[in-house]
A and B are shown apart, each in its own frame.
Chain A
Amino acid sequence: MSILGTRVVRTEDPLFLTRGAVYTDDLTDERLTGALHATFVRSNVAHGTVTSVDVSAAKEAPGVVAVYTAEDLGDLQPVPPPLPFLDAGFSRPWLVPVGGRVHFVGDLVAVVLTEERYQGEDAAEQVVVDIDPLPAVVTTKAAATDETVLFPEVGTNKVAAFGEPAPEDFFADCEVVVRREIVNQRVAAAPLETRAASAAWGEDGRVTIWCTNQGAQQAKGQIAGWLGLDPALVHLVTPDVGGGFGAKIGADQEYAFVAWLAQRSGRPVRWTESRSENMTGMLQGRAQDQVVTIGGTRDGKVTAYSLEVTQDCGAYPRIGTVLPTLTMLMAAAVYDIPKVHAQATCYATNGTSIGAYRGAGRPEATAAIERAMDLFAAEIGMDPAEVRRVNFIPTFTEPVTTSSGATYDSGDYEAALDRVLAAAGYAELRAEQARRRERGDVRQLGIGVSAYVEITGADSGHGTSENAELEVHADGTATVLTGTSPHGQGHATTWAMLASEQLGIPVEKITVLHGDTDRIPDGGGTMGSRSLQQGGAAVHQAAVELVEVARKRAAELLEANPDDLEVDLANAGLSVRGTPGVGVTWAQLAADEQLIVQTTFTANAPTFPFGAHVAVVETDVESGKAVVTRLVTVDDAGTIINPLLAEGQRHGGIAQGVGQALLEEILYDEDGNPQTSTFADYPFVSATELPSFELVEMATPTPMNPLGAKGIGEAGTIGSTPAVQSAVVDSVAHLGVRHVDMPATSMRVWRAIREAQKGSTN
């Protein structure tokens, strides 16, 4: 029986559950003996000119070895924006100099090196930074006016623009047109492990950098580039990583800074940020203002749809600048809409920079069109599930290109909706809703339906390729080297399953290694739900190739026809078909000659997982508080290799979607001061705010890789966010409410009810 498709418990867990994983701050590597602790001094003003930095007291503080300001940086050049088309004027200094501008609360002004961790915090407080404040640009609306320009050398806050305006007559032939401004708010990725890095220079002139990230090879390349180092001198190691969710893709400037500080001070250096530092310094997500316009016929056919995105890039534009292009690509979603228009304009603001966060551009597309579908349904008085059914792209097995330009591999959107509605008991839910409305209950029922398709395995800087190396050793064990970079996904288990499936070597005897640039110089990391379909497929390919190599060698040894040899589990090697006693073990083959395969798998194209979610909420119409009582989901990610782990990915994704829909939002005051920079202020979703989830199975394999697998890491978030938002709106729809922006907090819902009762539209 195949091991694939079975619920193999993780090989990672015995260690994680007894000694704990080893994260960057846990390292006891001897090269870090005597390491200094770095503590950054950050701007507490969002926008302003630095007028003085006084480090004299800090230098005298206990345990201080060095304090550096911009004057000490030598020939270190500001870090240019990560996208070649962006104006170099958006470059970020390592430390903002006197006379220079700080651009967000969290910008770096000085750094302190101390013998002990606590001494760093004490000394950093002794650094006196004077900043002459400038007006803060907190919203994209303010940024667009250019009344205050963040980077005078650029001359405008506009960072980039994609697409063209829709023609004036775009909706001219529609019987019904609905237009709405909606917010896809700024949220924190908030992995439980904050950012951390350590660095030590060796006598060979090379630096070893340990840091928490989602792809060692990309991080290494960035750090070498920023510091002007020969990449051959940089050895980057990824220890265990305590969650990433997109915000740990690549390196952050602080990581490179730690390497520079180690070189400059002549001692190893460690850095681990605090949570409040993380909540201002780490990339955040979403941050789109959207305008959706949807038009069609009174009987429910959508004929034209427009999505206009305004993206907040934050202070120093990073990868978030191009995520709206994914939003635009996926604008048409699961629907067969004759005319689709999408455009985006991106602005710098005095907030934390925006990057990828679980879904990264696709949740925004899904949220937009699903809200639009609901608004359209409400306008024509049709059931929201029925409106979706009328407009779905029909079932397809050959690629289909949408009106927004994406080419989907395989899909059956109506089947996904049918399954989720059946599992949820949709008709009975509507009946219960009607009863509560009839009775005028305080606790009203809301039912939200979403349908989605997303893109996974898209080129995120490494093409659609991934590498694998597989070696069988003389003791009968095997080692897999992968260019992917797990941080909770369980690659050590799943990659071992894929190798075991071909070799018959038990999962427990297969070690999976990642995240060491000396051993694995090339790799694409883990992001964009690419790992299984590319990295896993590479492991599968390596195992198939290794069996072929072994078969030839065994044939010579046994003087048999290679075609007669097959993997023999009982023999832990290869045997002649039909005569199991005649064979050779993996151990023997590996002892005779190194048995190793290196391979690269290249996918033909990205894949497009899809699904449908039903969320049920109970809303107290007197307080506005909505509670999610059920979440029923179909998330079709093609063939599932390990259902236990795939379900875990769905659970986590669903929860983050609920968090965004109901609770989470990064807030600034009018001066750009963060209002949500601790976990006491930021409403990170907890166990009591979630139900247990009801997962419904569906698997439509993709032809894009031999596993048939699509990505599953982000689907849950993409589906659940609009379903929950929709359910909240639906729970108070009978009171006249058509829309509530995320997060749909008690206050927002309560206000929406009051506004509706006053007769104004909302």
Chain B
Amino acid sequence: MQVSMTVNGQQRTDEVEPRTLLAHHLRDNLGLTATNIGCDSTSCGACTVIVDGLTVKSCTVLALQAEGSEVTTLEGLAGPDGELHPVQAAFRSEHGLQCGFCTSGMVMAAVGVLADNPNPTDREVREGIEGNLCRCTGYHNIVRAVLKAAESGPAAGQVPTAKQEVTA
């Protein structure tokens, strides 16, 4: 079947099997491999992307369900000149990533957390990213990074292409 969606600001139309998961569509058909798959049970969140302003686990969404949608992945988060999104910048400055496998999903989830709650507490950040697992950092520096990104103001909860707030 044919599926069309806007991915990181670009219109994409592709032939997919109806059962194709959005995560596989992004990775295998569109070559956007920053989105990772870490489990089979919607548990780890490594595949988190933003669809029409909502953070979703793309391993649990069919590509066809994103028909006509605006999809943002990690690759679409930085500015056109390569300037890091506030959440990306904070993950770097706070050492919020080690092996990097959870990072794409964690960054997208963090954008969603900050859209919903621009000034979260330590506890609220932890609750916000509970659906995203990390084995390397013990979450300590991820939480620091999200709190640091919050200092950047509303931009930390926005994605650049759609210029819309994201609802967690």
Q: Is A242 in contact with B133, judged by CB distance below 8 angstroms?
A: no
Scan residues 389-421 of chain A and give those whose CB is less than 8 A from a CB of chain B. Answer: none
Scan residues 245-271 of chain A and give those whose CB is less than 8 A from a CB of chain B. Answer: 245
Write out the residue numbers on chain A whose beta carbons fall within 8 Å of the beta carbon of B104.
20
Minimum CB–CB distance from A533 to chain B (whole Å) comes to: 19
- Contact segment of A305-313, A603-611, A648-656, A701-709: A648-656
| Cα A17 to Cα B28 with chains together (Å) | 20
Write out the residue numbers on chain B whose beta carbons fall within 8 Å of the beta carbon of A655.
137-140
Scan residues 117-148 of chain B and give those whose CB is less than 8 A from a CB of chain A. Answer: 122, 125-127, 129-130, 132-144
Q: Is B44 in contact with A651, judged by CB distance below 8 angstroms?
A: no
Q: Is A191 in contact with B75, judged by CB distance below 8 angstroms?
A: no
B39 within 8 A of A: yes
Q: Is A192 in contact with B33, judged by CB distance below 8 angstroms?
A: no
Q: Which of B42, B77, B97 contacts A16 (CB 8 A)?
A: B97
Q: Is B137 in contact with A651, judged by CB distance below 8 angstroms?
A: yes
Q: Which of A10, A14, A243, A692 contacts B95 (CB 8 A)?
A: A10
Interface bin, chain A: 35 or more
Write out the residue numbers on chain A whose beta carbons fall within 8 Å of the beta carbon of B139.
651, 655, 686-687, 690
- Contact segment of A77-85, A483-491, A496-504, A591-599: A483-491
Scan residues 1-48 of chain A and give those whose CB is less than 8 A from a CB of chain B. Answer: 9-10, 12-14, 16-23, 25-26, 28
A510 within 8 A of B: no
Q: Is A17 in contact with B138, judged by CB distance below 8 angstroms?
A: no
Q: Is A656 in contact with B135, judged by CB distance below 8 angstroms?
A: yes
Pick the most buried of A192, A243, A274: most chain B CB atoms within 10 A of its CB. Answer: A192
A679 within 8 A of B: yes
- Known contacts: A190-B135, A652-B138, A692-B140. The answer to whether A18 contacts B99 by CB under 8 A is no
- Known contacts: A678-B43, A687-B126. The answer to whether A19 contacts B100 by CB under 8 A is no
Nearest B-chain residue to A695, judged by Cβ: B140
Q: Which of B78, B99, B103, B143 contacts A687 (CB 8 A)?
A: B143
A684 within 8 A of B: yes
Nearest A-chain residue to B43, judged by Cβ: A679
B31 within 8 A of A: yes
Q: Which of A17, A240, A488, A693 contacts B84 (CB 8 A)?
A: A17
Nearest A-chain residue to B31, judged by Cβ: A28
Nearest B-chain residue to A655, judged by Cβ: B138
Binary CB contact string for chain B from 132 to 167 against chain A (1 if under 8 A, 0 otherwise) = 111111111111100000000000000000000000
Pick the most buried of B44, B46, B135: most chain A CB atoms within 10 A of its CB. Answer: B135
A751 within 8 A of B: no
By Cβ-Cβ distance, the 9 closest A-B pairs, closest first, are A20-B34, A655-B138, A242-B101, A488-B98, A488-B99, A679-B43, A26-B33, A651-B138, A192-B101
Q: A193-B38, A242-B36, A243-B136 are in contact. List 16 more A-B contacts (CB 8 A).
A: A10-B92, A20-B34, A20-B100, A22-B33, A23-B101, A28-B31, A242-B101, A488-B136, A490-B98, A651-B138, A652-B137, A655-B137, A678-B39, A687-B129, A687-B139, A690-B139
By a beta-carbon cutoff of 8 Å, the part of chain B in contact with chain A is: 17, 19-20, 24, 27-28, 31, 33-36, 38-44, 46, 74-75, 77-78, 82, 84, 88, 91-93, 95, 97-104, 107, 122, 125-127, 129-130, 132-144
By a beta-carbon cutoff of 8 Å, the part of chain A in contact with chain B is: 9-10, 12-14, 16-23, 25-26, 28, 117-118, 190-194, 240-243, 245, 274-276, 487-490, 644-645, 647-648, 651-656, 678-680, 684, 686-688, 690, 692-693, 716
